[in-house]
């Protein structure tokens, strides 16, 4: 029998999940209904899915009239805790989009909620489902580079994310949480380690300014000559449907308080250390994400999106006298998140059938996001080293994962 999902927040992610979950389970998942406050977004989502989808005015109504088997929370970051709390009486599987919410306090409340909740709750740390990431983890586990010693992860993108709710800490949580939750989680997935402390430098090099907070690109007299004016979501020349930038809010508005350039040094357990850097003002083709991992027996490089093609690559440089290297290539078939979607959808179907437990858990997300908040505190307090224990509430110390 088909399983039916309800979607809270039918925007870019909600509409994409709806289509992916139906397509990659060969129709075994159907949409019970959505809660979407914005008419245009609702209509856009139905058009994207090429079908009419029931719409409900509240989460309570979705539960009562739609009777879903599973729920996806794909509303903006700052609404996740409030929406999750409305699901207290729902015991089917719940997927919460990353990040869990926008502040250490709200995220801690999510962890407390999930600890006492009866149904399974998973987080969309979609990168863990991507074949390139799973292959890299498998190679590291098998000892392809020996004992992991250090890492260098970088992420480069343009300023597109500053056109929407992500441009303020209150709306998105800051990019060390909103974006880096994926990268920090992958770093912990590769190393199996536990974060200990972090030190970070941040700057706002390009975004922010004195434009009105409600100014949008289409209403702006400078639109024609502004190189940050909203672009199409179709990545130029690559025909990849990436997450659309919903709004076209001005990136130079007064309220913009999220740094666009950050670098941190991180200490993990087992003597592992490394750096994570990201920037959001100069798009660098082929550099959506590049990960380097060094081990006692070699090095591994992951280029998650090669220049000129939407494909990924793992290069392994084993410690040998012949200086041989091995290269593995990964095609993504035009799907976002490095082809993670189909695997995520099928995992959620298994959860709804009661066949498995969450692969991407709330404690994993909590660990990555607390590391992100520790980094933010470091940069706000003169780039001092911040221990994770300064950020994590005592009652949740056991929710930090890693050996």
Ligand X SMILES: NC(=O)c1ccc[n+]([C@@H]2O[C@H](COP(=O)([O-])OP(=O)(O)OC[C@H]3O[C@@H](n4cnc5c(N)ncnc54)[C@H](O)[C@@H]3O)[C@@H](O)[C@H]2O)c1
Residues of this chain that interact with ligand X (CB under 6 A) are 8-14, 35-38, 41, 74-77, 79, 83, 97-98, 124, 126, 164, 243, 246, 337
CB nearer ligand X, residue 84 or residue 144: 84
The CB-of-28 to ligand X minimum distance in angstroms stands at 22
CB nearer ligand X, residue 22 or residue 98: 98
The CB-of-154 to ligand X minimum distance in angstroms stands at 18
The phi and psi torsions of 119 (rounded to 5 degrees) equal -95, 165
CB nearer ligand X, residue 10 or residue 252: 10
CB nearer ligand X, residue 29 or residue 186: 186
The CB-of-346 to ligand X minimum distance in angstroms stands at 16
Instruction: For residue 144, give every residue at least 6 positions away whose Cβ sits within 8 Å of its Cβ, in sequence order, or none.
Output: 295, 297, 298, 300, 316, 318
Residue nearest to ligand X (CB): 11
CB nearer ligand X, residue 79 or residue 383: 79
Distance from chain centroid for Cα 390: 24
Residue with tokens 């989502």: 45
The CB-of-210 to ligand X minimum distance in angstroms stands at 25
The CB-of-272 to ligand X minimum distance in angstroms stands at 25
The CB-of-378 to ligand X minimum distance in angstroms stands at 23
CA-based nearest residue to 142, from 300, 35, 9, 259: 300
Q: Residue 261 forms beta bridges with which residues?
A: 203, 279
CB nearer ligand X, residue 57 or residue 143: 57
Q: What is the CA radius of gyration of the chain?
A: 21
Distance from chain centroid for Cα 294: 24
CB nearer ligand X, residue 93 or residue 295: 93
CB nearer ligand X, residue 106 or residue 267: 106
The CB-of-348 to ligand X minimum distance in angstroms stands at 13
CB nearer ligand X, residue 196 or residue 369: 369
CA-based nearest residue to 153, from 296, 299, 309, 263: 263
As a whole number of angstroms, the distance between CA 56 and CA 54 comes to 7
CB nearer ligand X, residue 38 or residue 296: 38
As a whole number of angstroms, the distance between CA 59 and CA 51 comes to 21
The CB-of-145 to ligand X minimum distance in angstroms stands at 27
The CB-of-178 to ligand X minimum distance in angstroms stands at 6
The CB-of-80 to ligand X minimum distance in angstroms stands at 7
Distances (CA, A) of 149 to 36, 196, 268, 319, 367: 46, 15, 10, 14, 20
Q: Could you tell me the strand order of the sheet in which 386-387 lies? A: 326-331, 311-318, 298-303, 289-295, 148-156, 273-279, 261-268, 195-203, 386-387
Instruction: For residue 37, give every residue at least 6 positions away whose Cβ sits within 8 Å of its Cβ, in sequence order, or none.
Output: none
Whether the Cβ atoms of residue 309 and residue 237 lie closer than 8 Å to each other = no
């Amino acid at each position: 029998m088909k399983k039916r999902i309800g979607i809270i927040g039918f925007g870019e992610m909600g509409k994409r999940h709806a289509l992916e979950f139906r397509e990659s389970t060969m129709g075994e998942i159907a949409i019970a209904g959505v809660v979407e406050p914005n008419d245009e977004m609702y209509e856009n989502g139905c058009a994207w899915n090429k079908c009419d989808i029931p719409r409900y005015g509240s989460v309570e109504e979705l539960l009562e009239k739609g009777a879903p088997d599973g729920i996806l929370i794909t509303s903006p970051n700052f609404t996740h805790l409030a929406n999750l709390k409305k699901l207290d009486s729902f015991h089917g599987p719940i997927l919460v989009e990353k990040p869990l919410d926008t502040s250490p306090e709200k995220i801690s409340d999510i962890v407390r909620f999930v600890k006492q909740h009866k149904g399974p709750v998973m987080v969309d740390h979609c990168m863990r489902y991507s074949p390139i990431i799973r292959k890299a983890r498998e190679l590291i586990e098998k000892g392809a580079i020996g004992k992991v010693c250090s890492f260098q992860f970088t992420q480069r993108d343009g300023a597109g994310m500053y056109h929407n709710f992500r441009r303020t800490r209150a709306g998105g949580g800051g990019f060390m949480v909103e974006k880096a939750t994926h990268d920090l989680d992958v770093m912990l997935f590769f190393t199996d380690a536990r974060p200990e402390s972090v030190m970070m430098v941040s700057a706002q090099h390009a975004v922010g300014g004195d434009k009105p907070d409600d100014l949008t690109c289409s209403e702006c007299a400078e639109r024609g000559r502004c190189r940050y004016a909203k672009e199409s979501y179709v990545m130029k020349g690559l025909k990849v449907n990436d997450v659309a930038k919903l709004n076209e809010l001005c990136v130079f508005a007064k309220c913009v308080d999220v740094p666009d350039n950050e670098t941190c040094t991180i200490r993990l357990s087992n003597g592992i250390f490394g750096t994570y850097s990201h920037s959001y003002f100069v798009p660098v083709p082929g550099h959506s994400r590049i990960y380097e991992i060094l081990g006692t027996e070699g090095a591994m490089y992951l280029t998650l999106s090669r220049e000129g093609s939407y494909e990924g690559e793992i290069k392994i440089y084993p410690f040998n006298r012949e200086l041989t290297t091995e290269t593995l290539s990964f095609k993504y078939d035009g799907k976002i998140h490095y082809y993670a979607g189909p695997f995520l959808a099928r995992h959620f179907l298994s959860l709804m059938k009661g066949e498995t437990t969450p692969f991407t858990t709330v404690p994993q997300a909590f660990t990555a996001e607390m590391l992100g908040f520790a980094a933010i505190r470091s940069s706000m307090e003169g780039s001092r080293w911040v221990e994770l224990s300064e950020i994590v509430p005592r009652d949740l110390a056991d929710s930090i994962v890693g050996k």
